[in-house]
Amino acid sequence: MMEGWQTKKLGELCDISLGKTPARAITAFWDEKRTTDNVWLSIADLLGATEGVVLDSKEYLSNVGAALCRPVRQGTLLVSFKLTLGRLAFAGRDLFTNEAIAALTISNEQELSKAYLFYFLHFFDWDKATEGDVKIKGKTLNKEKLKAIDVHFPPAAEQERIVRVLDQAFEGIATAKSHTERNLQNVRAVFEGHLQEVFSRRGAGWETKRIADIARHSLGKMLDKAKNKGRPQPYLRNINVRWFAFDLSDLLQMRFLPTELEKYTAVKGDVLICEGGYPGRAAIWNEDFPIYFQKALHRVRFHEPMHSKWFVYYLYVQDKSGELKRQFTGTGIQHFTGEVLARFPLPLPPLGELPRLMAMFDELFVETQRLESIYQRKLGELESLKKSLLHHAFTGQL
């Protein structure tokens, strides 16, 4: 322990109160038109905090619903402690929260400042605190374990100095992060804009073809442990399909018979498209070995191999422009069905122009990926810098 520092339990330092979710089935508890002042926060709303302060929410309670809940006063520190752990913000107004958010009212702000506690809980190792407490939907704490968190803090003057240094440093990091994110968005916008321009202007000789007329497509195998027979084989799910690439880090296995090899595998050059989950997201399987795929994916095998990548580029720009979602069915969980895919219109240039256009797209794609990698690395470095500053602050090295 550093000289002059103390350690106390969070429950000794704060009154900890939890929010509540009134019954969803009773519409009288909810203010769908948001005409009251009864802001009701979920964890997602904490992410939308501006400079650490949350003012609004997508959901409001009616006065009847609010009467069932304990209000959180403006200025109170809020922290999520279920599923998404350690998300922090200050209440920018009197409001209400759900039960996954704890409101921390400090008993003696002469002893412990809210700003210091805000930074300390950013530094706190929430993953370690929840070891052995993983529920079905993710990591979680209960109120008693929240109260038992050890808070290390120095005298008030040192708290004030630490907060002042961190405020200044984090402001600079936030500015750098904003610039980097803007650069990242600009790089993607240039790429998407160029694709959109080519697909929109359509020169002489272009035509539009339905996918069913230029390719064969089919869904993968349904996962049914009771009925599936054969040998366990790794297979692709929609979560494994990213734009232009595959994430093979967590392949599951399903039983397949030898006779199902042709029906349920993708081979080099096949396009795999998400039917649900992230409908329309697609990539080309470019490995020399076949891979099985599940029912949540479409396999598209073009009669002309050059159309595969052209199709993926077109799906991508349609997705980014918002046009692709017009093809989806379902009000809740949306799907890109086989029927819709069959009649999906693909603009095609003359076959002789494809190599030149594809080379142009590929060159821009590679450069976009290179710049994205640089900016993503910069964002990672900024996050590492924040963690380093917090570590130095709360180990007496700042």
Q: Are residues 190 and 284 in the same domain?
A: no
Give residue 3's pLDDT band: very low, low, confident or very high (50, 70, 90): confident
Would you say residue 215 lies in a domain?
Answer: yes
Cα 109 from Cα 144, distance rounded (Å) = 22
pLDDT at 84 over 90: no
Would you say residue 131 lies in a domain?
Answer: yes
Quick one: average pLDDT of 154-182? 94
Would you say residue 221 lies in a domain?
Answer: yes
Q: Is 15 exposed, middle or buried (0-12, 13-18, 19+ CB in 10 A)?
A: exposed
How confident is the model over 21-36, as pLDDT tens digits?
999 999 999 999 999 9
Q: Are residues 199 and 260 in the same domain?
A: no
How confident is the model over 49-83, as pLDDT tens digits?
888 899 999 999 999 999 999 999 999 999 998 87
How confident is the model over 40-55, as pLDDT tens digits?
999 999 988 888 899 9
Which domain, by its residues, includes 75?
6-153
Q: Are residues 241 and 198 in the same domain?
A: no
% of the chain exceeding 70 in pLDDT: 97
Would you say residue 1 lies in a domain?
Answer: no
- The residue among 348, 370, 390 that closes a domain is 348
Number of domain units in the chain: 3
Q: Are residues 56 and 144 in the same domain?
A: yes
Alpha helices in 22-151, H assignment, sequence order: 43-47, 63-66, 114-123, 126-129, 143-147
Of 44-48, 255-259, 267-271, least confident by mean pLDDT is: 44-48
How confident is the model over 355-390, as pLDDT tens digits?
999 999 999 999 999 999 999 999 999 999 999 999
% of the chain exceeding 90 in pLDDT: 81
- The residue among 306, 323, 348 that closes a domain is 348
Q: Are residues 36 and 134 in the same domain?
A: yes
Would you say residue 373 lies in a domain?
Answer: yes
Q: Are residues 386 and 329 in the same domain?
A: no
Would you say residue 20 lies in a domain?
Answer: yes
- The residue among 153, 168, 188 that closes a domain is 153
Tokens linked to 361: 């797209």
pLDDT at 32 (0 to 100): 93
Of 8-12, 195-199, 329-333, 376-380, least confident by mean pLDDT is: 329-333
CA atoms within 13 A on the CB side of 218: 12
Q: Are residues 11 and 141 in the same domain?
A: yes
Would you say residue 81 lies in a domain?
Answer: yes
Residue 358: which residues within 8 A CB-CB, separation 6 or more? 306, 309, 310
Alpha helices in 53-155, H assignment, sequence order: 63-66, 114-123, 126-129, 143-147
Quick one: average pLDDT of 12-24? 95
pLDDT at 257 (0 to 100): 93
Q: Are residues 294 and 337 in the same domain?
A: yes
Q: How far apart are the first and last CA of the chain?
A: 15
Closest alpha carbon to 60 in 87, 39, 81, 45: 39
Question: Got the DSSP string for 180-202?
Answer: HHHHHHHHHHHHHHHHHHHHHH-
Q: Are residues 221 and 312 in the same domain?
A: yes
Q: Are residues 16 and 149 in the same domain?
A: yes
pLDDT at 332 over 80: no
For 293, other C-beta atoms within 10 Å of its C-beta total 26
pLDDT at 136 over 70: no
Q: Are residues 184 and 121 in the same domain?
A: no
CATH code of the domain containing 40: 3.90.220.20
Q: Are residues 338 and 386 in the same domain?
A: no
Cα 69 from Cα 232, distance rounded (Å) = 51
pLDDT at 188 (0 to 100): 93
Would you say residue 51 lies in a domain?
Answer: yes
